[in-house]
Structure 1
Amino acid sequence: MHGNAPTRPWIHRLSKTNPPGSIRLFCFPYAGGGASTFRGWAELLPDEIDVHAIQPPGREDRLFEDPVDTLQATLDAVVPELLEYSKEPFALFGHSLGAIVCWEAARVLREEHNLEPARVFLSGCRALPAVHDGRRDLHTLPEAELIEELRLMNGTPEEILRNADFMRMLLPAVRADYAMLSRYSFLPCKPPGAPVTVFGGASDPGVGMNHLQQWSELIEGELDSVVLPGDHFFLHASREPLLAEMAKRLVGPVQASGRESSLGSL
């Protein structure tokens, strides 16, 4: 569609400050989302958390780039950028499709680069072996049906859904993301060494408490789960309690880990 458009970075820094001892938080958006999903997070989180958002092509300031519709192409692009930040402590957050990309990025960092994040946050996502159970392949739907599916998910404002010109620009990225989801096949792998927190929405019709509990079958180390008010897009409706839960798992433990690491190098 826009094959000649220049390629922009996948990682956008949202924080204005970066004090000594801070931890970088890399956030992966849901299907159709971009870096703006995490607008305001840096202002609500402690200064010690340096917020970065993943910006896939085909949306927002990368609108005129072709969207990516395979997980492998996404990992091939984003992991090298993550490696540029790997000398400092970092954590990963992903919501819905972003949680799948987050999990797989952590796997590549672990298996190919011997790197572990300080913590992994998986939000609004079924345990991966069950990710396709009962789901439709949305990327092949006619435009009107796809828009109606987005309306039912309750994550896109009605004024945007009714704006034909805007939807014409947005839908290629949405289709690409849903194609990525439909093609995803979970392969068993060594469990993450990092602690994992799973978030869910109390009223999420597609990700129930049983789905969150199934993450324990994939994770052998530290795992905890938090259920917050809201549907699938509780990360917006319950943004402040979500960020509070993340902050208390990052700031203290990571600072302590950093001090131990520094002492060990003396």
Structure 2
Amino acid sequence: MSSDRPPTGASWIRRNRRCRDAQMRLLCLPHAGGTASFHHSWASWLPEGTDLLSVQYPGRQDRISEPCVSTMDDLAPQVVQALQPHLDDDSPLVLFGHSMGAWVAFEVARLLEMSFGRRPAGLIVSAQIPPHLPPEREWPGESDDELIAELRRTGGTYSDPMLQPGLRELVLPSVRADFRLVRHYSPQPLRKISTPVTAFAGVDDTGVPWNRVAEWNDVTTGTFTSHTFPGGHFYLLEHEQEFARQMNHAVQRMAGDGASHSHTGQHADG
């Protein structure tokens, strides 16, 4: 790893709730333009004994002075390296990724299996088609107007005041880098993992049709389940109570199933 890359460790991984004797760990990978703080409130409803971790990508909030990462080949290995201090025991690890974060979470799971012989207990992907499928629509261009239009279309964490002149200069560089990452991410051929996968989707998400989200079944040789919610791309904010209920169910099921299989020694295909 080159010396000009951002430091690893605490700068990448944020602990939203510390458990002295964690029974499981949930690592959250944010959406395009997202931050680790997006998951902070989840500590109030996740099961007791859950060590809640979030990734803070460079180029935003307290890492705003660092250069953004705009390729998956750079981003996923750095996340995996930063995660290593949190894998010093056999606590089951579940990965969650929303939108762009679903693809990052998939690559993190694949690298953990392939390079470290550690299969996560589960991968929960949200509001994203599997990476081997062609996109339903063209990704937005990189002009300010195109990026702002896309953020307003998907809704979620970006309100109009955040996108006004003066603040947009702080927000848009990381959004631009993240959309560049997803635009150029195309893992061909499909590289399967053995990690069990659960897929979530909003039935009214026009950019990510729910029936295509179900095709995440093709990325794993493990078990697969899916669940749909009312709402659009950020259904998890629109229907937080139902999302929390389904997340709890998925995390507990995966952690329970994976408690005795956190180290598999198996490598992913590819």
TM-score (norm 1): 0.87
Flag the structure with higher helix content. Answer: 1
Distance change in 2, residues 1:6/1:187 (3 Å): closer
Unaligned runs of 5+ in 1: 262-266
Task: Give the CA deviation at 1:100.
Answer: 0.4
The yes-or-no answer on 1:100 pairing with 2:103 is yes
Question: How far 1:195 sits from its partner (Å)?
Answer: 1.5
Shift of 1:22: 1.6
Aligned ranges 1:1-266 → 2 under 5 Å: 7=7, 9-15=11-17, 17-86=18-87, 87=89, 88-136=91-139, 138-140=140-142, 142-155=143-156, 156-161=158-163, 163-251=164-252, 254-255=255-256, 258=259
- Whole-angstrom distance in 2 between the partners of 1:211 and 1:25: 25
Q: What is the DSSP-based 3-state SS (H/G/I as helix, E as strand, rest coil) of the residue aligned with 1:159? A: helix
**What is the aligned-residue RMSD (CA, Å)?**
2.2
Separation in 2, partners of 1:12, 1:154? 25
1:91 shift after superposition = 0.7
1:53-107 deviations in whole A, cap 9, x for unaligned? 1100111111111111111111231111222222232110001100000001111
Task: Tell me by how many angstroms 1:109 deviates.
Answer: 0.7
Worse-superposed segment, 238-247 or 171-180: 238-247
* Deviation for aligned residue 1:246: 2.0
Conserved? CA contact 1:122–1:197, under 8 Å: yes
Q: Answer yes or no: is the 8 Å Cα contact 2:32–2:175 preserved in 1.
A: yes
Number of positions where the alignment pairs a residue of Structure 1 with one of Structure 2: 254
Conserved? CA contact 1:25–1:52, under 8 Å: yes
Deviations 1:199-229 (A, max 9, x none): 0012111111221222222233210101112
Identity score, percent: 32
Contact 1:44-1:240 at 8 Å conserved across structures: no
Cα distance in 1 for partners of 2:247, 2:166 equals 37
Stretches of 4+ aligned residues off by more than 6 angstroms: none
